[in-house]
Chains A and B, each alone.
Chain A
Amino acid sequence: MKRITDLSSFNAAHEAGLKKLLPAAGRIAVGMGTCGVGNGAEGLYHALSDGIQGRGLGFHLAQVGCYGPCSEEPLVNVWLPGKPLVILHKVQAQDVAALLDDLSAGRIPEELALCKVEEWDHITGRVKYGSGLPDLPKWDEIPFFAGQSKIVLRNCGLINPGDIEEYLAVGGYQALYKVLIDANPEMVIEQIKAAKLRGRGGAGYQTGLKWDMLRKAVADQKYLICNADEGDPGAYMNRNEIEGDPHGLIEGMVIGGYVTGATEGILYVRAEYPLAVHRLNLAIQEAEERGLLGENILGRGFSFKLSLVEGAGAFVCGEETALIQSLEGRAGRPTPRPPYPAESGLWGTPTNINNVETWYNVAPIVVKGPAWFTETGSPKSPGTKVFSLVGKVQRTGLVEMPLGTPLKTFVYDIGGGAPPMKTVKSVQTGGPSGGCIPKEMFDTPVDYETLAQLGSIMGSGGMVVMDEDNCMVDVARYFIEFTHSESCGKCVPCRVGLDQMLAILNRFTAGKATEADLGMLDELSRMIRDMSLCGLGQTAPNPVLTTLRHFRQEFEDHLRAHRCRAGVCENLALSPCENSCPLHMNIPRFLELLKADRLEDAFLSVVMDNPLPASTGRVCQHPCDNRCRRAGIDEAVNMRDVHCYIADSIYKGGRYDEMIERVLQHRFPPTGRKVAIVGAGPTGLTCAFYLAMMGHSVTVYENNADAGGMLRYALPEYRLPKSVLDDELKLIYRLGVEFVFNSVVGETITLNDLSTMYDGVFLSIGTWKETWVYLPGTELKGVLHALPFLEALSKEEQVPLGRKVVVIGGGNAAIDSARTALRMGAEVTVIYRRERKDMPAIPEETEAAEDEGVKYVFLAAPHRIVSGEEGGVVAIECAKTTLGEFDSSGRRKPVPTGEIQRFECDTVILAVGETVDLDFLKASGLKLKEKEKMLDVSPFTLETSRSNFYAGGDLISGASNVSNAMGYGKKAARNMDQKLMGAFRWPKLWPEFEYSMVPPAHVSECRRHHIHELPADERAKGFMEAVTGLTAVEAMEETGRCLRCDIREGNH
């Protein structure tokens, strides 16, 4: 290898590199970062090289670093002369044969292509690939890369890290050459200062000032250190930078050495990054051979020695003084500052330490100047920062964004938001020294100061997205557990303080915390932050302080309600499924009882946890399926349909009366207390059941003529037969619950009457008022609202329905109306303003409707209802919408495009949701929440502002679903009884169940069973139930699939 000693040999190497980058025969490059290899890139590379040799093709095959989008790996770049560079994604070894056929025929396989690059700005140079392939998006047009600007990652994924000539080809070492020729170190430092480059390790200290201090220090030996310890969990940008472009780091350090007068540099790299260490050593060797490192660089008389030291697994060594202690052969325990390393660092000599990413910004500033650098980023922090976007987000990877970009852009635009059926809850930035930022604050620009104001820090750039399955208390505990195990143990606040904080947080996640613990956490966090010796201790409490500040209600939930909504803290729940069930049914118990063929005991267990098992068994949206651990093996256990089978078997099995007697045996003796319940919907019925079971005398006031609320008057017969509902109501009637029908509270009886006649009152009137729709033409004949339409049908009233019906809306009410109208012989189209995946309706219902012939039109918002001559409806005009910004619900807001679509129809059913009856609330005199105009109740007891008056269900939560509403009824009953009787009698209501607590020896391998749908055309004709439940054998097999997560070391 020829040494480069002058301009001509420099340009010769540059040309040689270009020939490899743009070879006449075309080039194939495989992304071989560690994560690429983890995704099978190695096998892919060998398949390609065998293929090329086998067929004697001339393609130049190279290994390159990672281009950034990890979720698209393995990545392969292909280039044919004259054409743009095309990035192929998710390439498997078996695609190689077809790929080589296409390439050798001069074609690019478009189906594998992700994006194309026509011309690439390497900042230190430009490479023109070619134009063409019009329908393939450019690299910065696809969502993941939109808005990114690659300065630090300029070469990653494009050049071969193992070949110095490819680095030279894109203008590498040009900045070094310029600095050596200008021989004006002060001017370079001024440039770095003018560019206001701030340290990318996390603290954000001005790099120019640090270099200036080192330059002015007088000593015969000065050191430069590159901090590549990157111990932050969730951060891997330094690894990819080194693996993709090692020479960029070397060039930065040599310039730094020349400018500050340091003659030796040390690269302190983590031992957990073997590939980065290997490629860096290779690059150092190559640079020394070519005269760009070591003795007499480029023949200009400057010498700079660079050596690599592998860290040995200590996060604290990311702190500069600890790193120096580690290099001096001691344990990595930080030393007090002053003295600062710039005055007395490694072996007492002046030393300057910068993070990997900071070094990568040096060459661009030298080549393009500070003015160009300050164009990107924010005024106080110019330039870009590389973030590792990971966690519960659809597109993960390395993202280099200008500083000051709002969090929203990262999570939604680049990351694509949470996976389907999930919503993002928060983002954790800055690793163990950072904090959790709630989704309400996603407009915050990502910058040193703005993140600090929220209590977090930018830190290394780790960005972990979390959804509602993540418990923030557990996240805080996780980070304290991390810093506690990485604390060096030298200073008291961090060593012992973190241990005590971990003990407190463990008590929270185990449900054993006390009120004092909440205050202690806050006080201890501030003490550790203010008193610790080094950055580790000073920032360790940030995760706790930010979660206490932004997610305090989660701490209170764990403390007072002993509940972990995310279902992560296992001790706070019997099992993940029980935790997710709004009624907290002991699911493992009834599965085990049925498995032991004890149907009646299983029914008792089910009905005591959920008084309407057959109704919920048909209409519940089964949140338990999302938390079932069986999904980790194949699919979730079908819990809802098993408890539906159990209930149906008893109701039709002839021994229902004996079972009712058995339930009544567990009833508490009469307490002499009288309770009134307003509203006989599922919420009211549940509350009535439990209060009656606890011996109170219960009277239910209902404005309709019969009990059931939505179950009777909104859910169509094919979904919930009235006979099933009546079976279930028999139990409640037998409990002696009195019903007063056709009575409207506020008219036939007032709240004041109730408070005098009863010891306690529970309001559960649900949400029956239709949301007001701003749509011209709603006053026309033929325009109906969903609920009144379904209600009228349930009361067998005559409803005038046209031949062609349009339903507006995407919830359950919309689908129920559509399928009902279909059964009445109409042709039905459902119009929804977002996409299918955003529809709140239960997926099985949407699919079943489609099979029955319902048409769907998405991304269309109602614009105008057109009336015919005699005032009837003839058509509806809708505006096509596109999806714009993400709103706070984590879904994209539909934005009308102005293009109008016209649908011929004679009936329009509006199913855009129901709200609370506001006039009832205002008249009730109860305290309301100001902005949401909802009833203000205590989150833990559901008591309203008027003592002994409680409220629950849709009335306080807004339109929701049956099981959530019933959950409120159950919770209210528990609290009302506790207040009425002054004792917590609730647990005694449940009988002792004897059932096996031995983990299943071998878990059945069979897959999940589903209920059986009648053929679409047959069920579309009438209102008979559209599905038949599980058979006995299927239900029994389903019970065998349960992993019994309720069995733990302690309890058997």
Chain B
Amino acid sequence: MMVADSVELKREDREFIDSLVSKHRGRPGMLLTILESIQENHPQRYLPDDFLEYLAARMGMPTAQVYSVVTFYSLFNLKPQGKHTVCICRGTACHTRGSLRLLEGVRLQLGLREGEEEGSADKMTGTTADGKFTVRTVACFGQCALAPVAEVDHRILGHVNERALEREVEYLRKARR
């Protein structure tokens, strides 16, 4: 397996990946854990292609297999994510309490059309053009008693109705940071 010579990564990125690989070498679930760490560590929370090429070379794993894993799991993003994330739960309890309308409402509010979602239609992750917002769904947060549930930047909003969510997003949209 040729080492990915053509890949020019910044030094600290290469060192970061090397440290992860040596820390987790041979451990079960190694690839998942490393990919999760790389994505969490990235400012725009996604996995750039050159990072993946370098990682595949360092782990001696075919790039096709790494790409197959990265595109299989819904947690991994191949495109830069917005500064703020609005995640609507599409679990059963939330569905029966109208979370689909919440999703359509927030997508309308941010001007995300059908076409902008990449990935499968039902995965429905869409990022606004200005890179400020990403709207995504999750199959179940495990918060069913608070249904319908939405998560805005890691903060869980329980029993949320359309107006409350709209206010939350509007607040973030106006905030400078």
Q: Which chain B residue has the least Cβ–Cβ distance from A72?
A: B145
Of the candidate stretches A308-316, A617-625, A750-758, the one touching chain B is A308-316
Residue B128 at the chain A interface, CB threshold 8 Å: no
Asked if A312 and B65 sit within 8 Å, CB to CB, the answer is no
> In the complex, A390 Cα to B142 Cα: how many Å?
11
> In the complex, A236 Cα to B43 Cα: how many Å?
31
Contacts of A374 in B (CB 8 A): none
Asked if A391 and B92 sit within 8 Å, CB to CB, the answer is yes
Asked if B29 and A309 sit within 8 Å, CB to CB, the answer is yes
Asked if A236 and B36 sit within 8 Å, CB to CB, the answer is no
Residue B51 at the chain A interface, CB threshold 8 Å: no
> In the complex, A223 Cα to B140 Cα: how many Å?
29
Contacts of B29 in A (CB 8 A): 266, 268, 307, 309-310, 326-327, 329
Asked if A462 and B92 sit within 8 Å, CB to CB, the answer is yes
- Least CB distance, A497 to chain B, in whole angstroms: 16
Asked if A272 and B138 sit within 8 Å, CB to CB, the answer is yes
Q: What sequence of 0s and 1s flags, for each residue 155-172 of chain B, a beta carbon within 8 Å of any chain A beta carbon?
A: 011100111000000000
Q: Which chain A residue has the least Cβ–Cβ distance from B59?
A: A329
- Decide if the interface of chain A is mainly helix, strand, loop or mixed: mixed
Asked if B68 and A236 sit within 8 Å, CB to CB, the answer is no
Name the contact of B32 in the complex, choosing from A37, A309, A488 (C-beta under 8 A): A309
Name the contact of A484 in the complex, choosing from B68, B96, B122 (C-beta under 8 A): B122
> In the complex, A485 Cα to B137 Cα: how many Å?
12
Residue A63 at the chain B interface, CB threshold 8 Å: no
Contacts of A333 in B (CB 8 A): 72
Asked if B143 and A311 sit within 8 Å, CB to CB, the answer is no
Q: Which chain B residue has the least Cβ–Cβ distance from A502?
A: B122
- Least CB distance, A788 to chain B, in whole angstroms: 45
Residue B28 at the chain A interface, CB threshold 8 Å: yes
Q: What sequence of 0s and 1s flags, for each residue 610-651 of chain A, a beta carbon within 8 Å of any chain B beta carbon?
A: 000000000000000000000011000000000000000000
- Least CB distance, A410 to chain B, in whole angstroms: 14
Contacts of A390 in B (CB 8 A): 92-93, 144-145, 147
Residue A35 at the chain B interface, CB threshold 8 Å: yes
Q: Which chain A residue has the least Cβ–Cβ distance from B61?
A: A329
Q: Which chain B residues (13-59) contact chain A, with CB distance < 8 Å? A: 27-33, 35-36
Residue A950 at the chain B interface, CB threshold 8 Å: no
Residue B75 at the chain A interface, CB threshold 8 Å: yes
Q: What sequence of 0s and 1s flags, for each residue 36-77 of chain A, a beta carbon within 8 Å of any chain B beta carbon?
A: 011100000000000000000000000000000011010000
Residue B91 at the chain A interface, CB threshold 8 Å: yes
B76, B90, B120: most-surrounded residue (chain A CB, <10 A) = B90
Asked if B147 and A632 sit within 8 Å, CB to CB, the answer is no
Given contacts A38-B143, A232-B140, A233-B91, contact A311 B156 (CB under 8 A): no
Asked if A346 and B32 sit within 8 Å, CB to CB, the answer is no
Name the contact of A632 in the complex, choosing from B73, B92, B149, B162 (C-beta under 8 A): B162
Asked if B146 and A39 sit within 8 Å, CB to CB, the answer is yes
A390, A470, A475, A478: most-surrounded residue (chain B CB, <10 A) = A390
- Least CB distance, B76 to chain A, in whole angstroms: 6
Total A-B residue pairs with C-beta atoms closer than 8 Å?
A: 156
Asked if A266 and B122 sit within 8 Å, CB to CB, the answer is no
> In the complex, A328 Cα to B143 Cα: how many Å?
30
Name the contact of A331 in the complex, choosing from B69, B96, B139, B142 (C-beta under 8 A): B69
Residue A482 at the chain B interface, CB threshold 8 Å: yes
Asked if A310 and B36 sit within 8 Å, CB to CB, the answer is yes
> In the complex, A772 Cα to B69 Cα: how many Å?
71
Q: What sequence of 0s and 1s flags, for each residue 322-344 of chain A, a beta carbon within 8 Å of any chain B beta carbon?
A: 00001111111100000000000
Residue A260 at the chain B interface, CB threshold 8 Å: no
> In the complex, A273 Cα to B30 Cα: how many Å?
19
Residue B95 at the chain A interface, CB threshold 8 Å: yes
Contacts of A391 in B (CB 8 A): 92-93, 96-97, 144, 147
Residue A846 at the chain B interface, CB threshold 8 Å: no
- Least CB distance, A464 to chain B, in whole angstroms: 5
Residue B123 at the chain A interface, CB threshold 8 Å: yes
Q: Which chain A residue has the least Cβ–Cβ distance from B65?
A: A330
Name the contact of B33 in the complex, choosing from A70, A309, A632 (C-beta under 8 A): A309
> In the complex, A396 Cα to B123 Cα: how many Å?
28
Contacts of B93 in A (CB 8 A): 233-234, 390-391, 464
Asked if B146 and A38 sit within 8 Å, CB to CB, the answer is yes
Asked if B28 and A632 sit within 8 Å, CB to CB, the answer is no
Residue B63 at the chain A interface, CB threshold 8 Å: no
Residue A486 at the chain B interface, CB threshold 8 Å: yes
Contacts of B143 in A (CB 8 A): 34-35, 38, 236
Residue B74 at the chain A interface, CB threshold 8 Å: yes
- Least CB distance, A542 to chain B, in whole angstroms: 14
Q: Which chain B residues (91-107) contact chain A, with CB distance < 8 Å? A: 91-97
List 16 A-B residue pairs with CB atoms under 8 Å apart, sorted by A's residue number.
Answer: A38-B146, A231-B139, A233-B94, A234-B91, A272-B142, A309-B28, A310-B33, A313-B74, A326-B32, A328-B28, A330-B69, A331-B68, A388-B144, A390-B144, A391-B97, A482-B139
By a beta-carbon cutoff of 8 Å, the part of chain A in contact with chain B is 34-35, 37-39, 70-71, 73, 223, 230-236, 239, 266, 268, 270-273, 307, 309-315, 326-333, 346, 388, 390-392, 396-397, 428, 431, 462, 464, 466, 470, 475, 478-479, 481-482, 484-486, 488, 632-633
Closest 6 CB pairs of A and B: A70-B145, A309-B29, A233-B91, A236-B142, A312-B73, A234-B92
